[in-house]
Structure formats: structure tokens, C-alpha cells
Structure 1
């Protein structure tokens, strides 16, 4: 297994600085659309994260003032028209695998959204754990505008849990853009920052999370995912097991010893 710090990405830009890995979609002349290759590479990166020890947090962003305009019209949409049902199922399964990889990777993911986040770009932002944006951010789940359903890559499952069923229904039926202020008010975005500050704010948030107990963070992310399908009683029982496991870590011991010494704990992830 190649550590992510040594991984040479071909279709996105990957930079690892200490415990934070930043993935940048880097086709600014087209507003950073996804291709078959970039879909696959992103999925592989997030799958590899499960075995990664150095990286504690991911940031995903776009270059050139936009996040991601969705699937490339010429490199994806056009070729799909020539596929049969089996070929189309292979594509939709592959795109869904990216979302599953993002949700399954133990590290928290921060989406830094500037400008356009449309179609699959909106899905990427939705699939992150936290979302920061600029005032010019526009998010659009525009699948119905190209004659498709809003149920793409988990949108009908995940989006209502972020902004509510009625608001999600509005966006998925209309395909309209959700502006930054609206996204903040609805809880889609965690905070808004000036465009020139977005990268630094995302890095600062990533650093703050990375300084925490990574085993505990991974357990939080896992339980946030699993408890969607649980009753409250089942969730309480599952969390009892999860928390007991966290209490076996050295980070839990470090926190107590630091508290007793009136110091700030330094977590190491073990």
C-alpha cells in the first residue's frame, strides 16, 4: 500500500501536508468537470484512506473559482448515449461507488465550495462531512434538467438528512440553484468565507479536527452513518459499544492525564 503522501494522482491534484490531504479538481477552464478517470481515481483515493495512517482529514476543493460542474458533457454524457442498459448500469454503479467510498473512509472530509457545484459536483459536496463555501457558491442538483431523476448517487437518502425532506424535494424536483446564504440557512453549509479566505479556513478547520482523537473521529463518522437505519434504542446500544471501544485507546488515557495535569491533550490516534 502506497502512503497517500507518496501517491501520484493523475486526474486530480493531491497534496498531503502533515495530517491533512487536499484533493483539488483541476480543470478550471471547464469548471472542473468529472471524467470516467477522475471518478475512478477519487473513489480509489477514498478507499485507500481506510488503510492510511498519516492522513487524518481530507479537504476536497476545485480550482479557478469553481468547485465542480458535474460530469463532463463531452467525455461522459455524450458517450453514455451510445451505451446499452448494462453499460449504463456499470456507469451509475461506478459513480455511486465514489459516494460510498467517501462515506466509508474513516477520515472526516471537508468540502471547500467556491462558485459552481452542479450535478455530480453537488453530490461531492453533499457527500462530505462538513461544507464551507464562499458567498458566490451555487449548488444545483440539476439531474431533472437533463431528463433524469433526482435520485442520483444517494441524493434522495443523504440530502434530506442534511436540509430536510421538503427542501431536498424542492431542489431535486426543480433542479434550481441553491445560493450560499440559502445553503447556510438550510444547514447545507457550515460557514461562509470570502473567496480569498476559503482555502485557509478549510485548512484551519482540517487542522483543528486532525488534532483531535482520530480513532474517536472515525467512530463518530461511522456511527453517524450507521444510525440512519437504527431506532433510537438500537442507536443507544450501538453507541455504548462504540464508546467503550474508544475508552480502550491511549488517546482516552492521554486526555485524562492532561486534564489532571491541567494541560491540553496531544492526541496520537492510538
Structure 2
């Protein structure tokens, strides 16, 4: 297989290294191509603030160009995932704002979901304990969700006098669990237990609490060792095809798959198969 070089100017504008990123409002660690984002306000069940919303939005946006991050694990500290927006640091101030500033806030929170869906890395949410409000949205916006029997997922917006249409919930949640079940959760704000969440398809599977993060890292590591360029194409098509007819989707997939057939990873897989070896993917 022939090797080729990329123009340094193109690399400079489109490749980043994020392993050394210094997070300000959560924990960030990269090991073996797997990034772990830990929401770490355990004493309050890991609520979000204006600052953490913005930093998460910007970080997921920058992951588009990160060459050293192949998959992401999203987890909360202290036995809970995320309790949503901080009541004192977000909800209280919002009551005092006028429409332009409120729209600025809701667009910012929605942008977090957009960047999570737009980054090419698969995101694995490791959900234990409380997963409420914006926390439930972040779990929903992830590509896969591992839960525990004791997890409690609640789209609480109705309980605080707001509509269930928050941060893409009315678009994404029905696609995960069905229209009727999504309607129930969004209209009532009730908690979805772990076993019920697995049965409904919200969780890919349940783990013991002590094994949750290990299992999430194992899944993310398997993804990081795979054909990551092709995985990014899969994520893109899963998202974009929501707005396509079947005919449009089939044509879009034909073009996407032809592009993947040009990759070195596709060639590596073929030669490894012929040699009866396991392919060593490199993401190009």
C-alpha cells in the first residue's frame, strides 16, 4: 500500500491535538484514543452552568478536527450522571431575563446537541443515578447509552412549566424509543428507570454500577480501534438520513460507501482477511 503525505498547510487548518486540552468546568482525559468527559460537581449531582454548557459546546465542536480522539465517554462523578441545569446558577437568573437573552441561552444549549451530533467520534454515555433535564438530553444526544438498574432518566421540563421541546428532544427522543413513549416522558416529566429504559431501547444495555465506566471504556476502546473514518461516516449518515426519503438515503449511502472504499483501512481489511489476520485500522 502506497503512503502519501498531506500538505502541511491543510493539516494546520484541519488537524488538532486535544489530548492536552485543559478543561475548566469538568474533567477531561484522553487515553488510547478515548476521551473521557466527567461532569464533576458530585455534591450537587453534577448540574450544568452557563460556563459548562458553553465549554462543552466548544469542545464537541473542536472534536471535528481532533486527530488524537477516536471515541468519547461521557460520565458523571459520584454515582449520578447529571441533574440538569443548576437551579441557582441557571434557573434563577433565567427568570430575570428578557426574550432576546432567553433565546441566546436556548440557542446555546441547543448548539451543544448540534455539536455532539456533528462530531465524528461516537459518544458513549455512561448513565448512573440521576439523569435529568439537560442531563437526559446529553444522554439522548449520545450515540450509545449504557445504564444501571438504579438510573433515573427524566425529561423534567414539564415539571417546571416548560414545554418538552427542549434541545431537540421532540426530534431525537421519538426516534430512540418511539412516538408514544417519548410523548409520555415529555408530557409528564416522570422518571424512566434503568430496566424500563433498557426495555424501551433508551439504553443499549445495563451494567452493574461498579462496572459501568469500565464497560463504557471497553465499548469506546473497541470503537476507537475500528475504522474510525468509516465510523464517522456512519454517524453522519445516521444523522442526515432523518430528513431524507428512502430513495435519497440509498443514493447518499452509495456515495458514502464508495468514499469509504477509497480508504487505506478498507485495503488493510482485505489484505488482513487474505492473510487470516486481524486488521489494524488507522482511521485513514
Q: TM-score range by the shorter chain?
A: over 0.9
| Distance in structure 2 (CA, Å) of the matches to 1:257 and 1:43 | 40
Partner residue of 1:266?
A: 280
Asked if 1:34 is matched to 2:48, the reply is: yes
Partner residue of 1:227?
A: 241
Partner residue of 2:198?
A: 184
Unmatched 5+ stretches in structure 1: none
Equivalent position SS for 1:11:
coil
Partner residue of 1:125?
A: 139
Partner residue of 1:150?
A: 164
Asked if 1:236 is matched to 2:250, the reply is: yes
The C-alpha deviation readout for 1:229-256, integer Å capped at 9, x for no partner, is 0011100000000000000000000000
| Distance in structure 1 (CA, Å) of the matches to 2:17 and 2:270 | 32
Partner residue of 1:253?
A: 267
Check whether the contact 2:39–2:82 (CA below 8 A) recurs between aligned residues: yes
Unmatched 5+ stretches in structure 2: 1-14
Partner residue of 1:213?
A: 227
The C-alpha deviation readout for 1:180-207, integer Å capped at 9, x for no partner, is 0110001000010011000100010001
Q: Among 22, 42, 50, which residue is 2:36 paired with? A: 22
Asked if 1:50 is matched to 2:29, the reply is: no
Equivalent position SS for 1:144:
helix
- Report the CA distance between 1:2 and its aligned residue: 5.7
Partner residue of 2:153?
A: 139
Partner residue of 1:63?
A: 77
Residue pairs, 1:84-103, within 5 angstroms: 84-103=98-117
TM-score, normalization: structure 2? Answer: 0.94
| Distance in structure 2 (CA, Å) of the matches to 1:137 and 1:73 | 21
Structure 1 runs (4+) deviating above 3 angstroms are: none
Equivalent position SS for 1:6:
coil
Residue pairs, 1:72-83, within 5 angstroms: 72-83=86-97
TM-score, normalization: structure 1? Answer: 0.99
Partner residue of 1:193?
A: 207
Partner residue of 2:19?
A: 5
| Distance in structure 2 (CA, Å) of the matches to 1:15 and 1:253 | 32
